[in-house]
Structure 1
Amino acid sequence: MDSTTEAPRTRRRGAALQAAILEAAWEQLVDRGYGEFTLEAVAARAGTSRSVLYRRWSSRVELLRAAVEHQGTIPVSDPPDTGSLRGDAIALLRAMSEHRVELMVLFQTRLGGFFDESGDSPADLRRLMVGRRAGSMHDAVARGVERGEVEPGRVTDRIVNLPGDLVRHQMAMTLQPVPVADIEEIVDECFLPLLAPRA
């Protein structure tokens, strides 16, 4: 019997079952690309039936979006609180570089068919993934304001997002993690001077 049509039943229910399916979906996407990303293949990998997936997602586009969003709920590291904005920013950017370069490679090399089929852009998927972590650098900057490292009037969303944008751009260009020296340069030369209190 074809394992993609009749997968073994399990006792998983509710949130546990959904998490298992979404993790299996992500693994299928990373391993096989969008060309072999089907609800049948994901069901087989998750050890459940196709009908379970079809009750939750009507298409592979919906399932992929859900898998990307689920990955965004998995923290890449504990929120840093190093005692300085510089330390926090470097820790956040290093975690991003080390754990999200796989996503950058995936977006650029394995998802062409998804973008054609769905009409989504890489930016749309990124927004799904970063949703719950979007405040991490904002939290670090807020602590910097409390410590007197940051002039509150200089804080804007564009400035707070700048170091992450620069790291993502370098990853997109190289498809490699960003070296620590480059991250430190971004923080020291491009980020902190924009927020430091004026003399």
Structure 2
Amino acid sequence: MTSRPARRRGAALEEAILGAAVDELTESGYAGLTMDKVAARAGTNKNAIYRRWPNRLALGIAAYRRLATAVPVPDTGSLREDALALLRGANRHWSSPLGAVLRELLAAAGGASELVAQLQDQSGIAAPWLTALGRAVARGEAAPEALHPRVATVAVVLLRNEFVVRGVPTAPDDVLIEIVDEVYLPLVRNRAPS
């Protein structure tokens, strides 16, 4: 008589599903992610997945969040160099296979602001920029009024625009330099109180 493996529940089942979704995203991207494939890989059924994630996009975002890592914040002593280092890191990430998954998820999320917010929170958009900008304010390189998430992240949002709107596979370094020198630095240095 062969014994059946114990039925997984709760956190163990959720871990198995997320692990399977991560593997599917890594191998096939968001376009290849299906509930059937994830269920088969996790050794469960689709109902178990749908009880935890309402749709494929929510599962894809949860899996991406598992894959994404925190961005180290450069500290070169210069706001320009820190901003360029952050942009170059974002450019490398968005040009990578994992970045392609992120772009697919952002496109699929469309106007679903809560899902886009989950992706942006995990991909660490605001935190490293606010840290670098806070250091620059302390050094006198930027106006204290620039310490606002929308202002701090304008450079990376412009870079994201290159990928999402223009569809570039990677942004040339001269575009990154232009974003920093022509938009970001003038904005944060000349920001006046409102």
Contact 2:25 2:33 in 1 (8 A): yes
Contact 2:60 2:105 in 1 (8 A): no
Q: 1:59 to 1:122 in 2, by over 3 A?
A: closer
TM-score, normalization: structure 1?
Answer: 0.69
Aligned positions, number? 183
Q: 1:34 to 1:151 in 2, by over 3 A?
A: closer
Name 2:172's counterpart in structure 1: 179
Name 1:78's counterpart in structure 2: 72
The percent identity for this pair of structures is 36
TM-score, normalization: structure 2?
Answer: 0.71
Task: Say if 2:145 is the partner of 1:149.
Answer: no
Superimposed CA distance per residue, residues 88-134 of structure 1 (whole angstroms, 9 cap, x where no aligned partner): 2111111111112446655776887x55xxxx537654321121413
Distance 1:156 1:34 in 2: 32
Name 1:189's counterpart in structure 2: 182
Q: 1:181 to 1:14 in 2, by over 3 A?
A: farther
Letter in 2 for 1:78: P
Letter in 1 for 2:187: L
Contact 1:105 1:175 in 2 (8 A): no
Name 1:95's counterpart in structure 2: 89
Letter in 1 for 2:35: L
Q: 1:146 to 1:31 in 2, by over 3 A?
A: same
Superimposed CA distance per residue, residues 166-194 of structure 1 (whole angstroms, 9 cap, x where no aligned partner): 10111221331212222122111211122
Structure 1 gap ranges (5+): 1-7
Q: 1:56 aligns with which of 26, 36, 52?
A: 52
Q: Aligned to 1:62, what secondary structure does the other structure show?
A: helix
Contact 1:104 1:171 in 2 (8 A): no
Q: Aligned to 1:21, what secondary structure does the other structure show?
A: helix
Distance 1:167 1:111 in 2: 14
Q: 1:196 to 1:111 in 2, by over 3 A?
A: closer
Task: Say if 2:142 is the partner of 1:127.
Answer: no
**What's the RMSD between the two structures over aligned residues?**
3.7
Structure 2 gap ranges (5+): none
Q: CA deviation at 1:55?
A: 4.8
Letter in 1 for 2:179: I
Q: 1:33 to 1:144 in 2, by over 3 A?
A: closer
Q: 1:66 aligns with which of 59, 62, 68?
A: 62
Q: 1:44 to 1:159 in 2, by over 3 A?
A: same
Letter in 2 for 1:42: V
Q: 1:37 aligns with which of 21, 33, 36?
A: 33
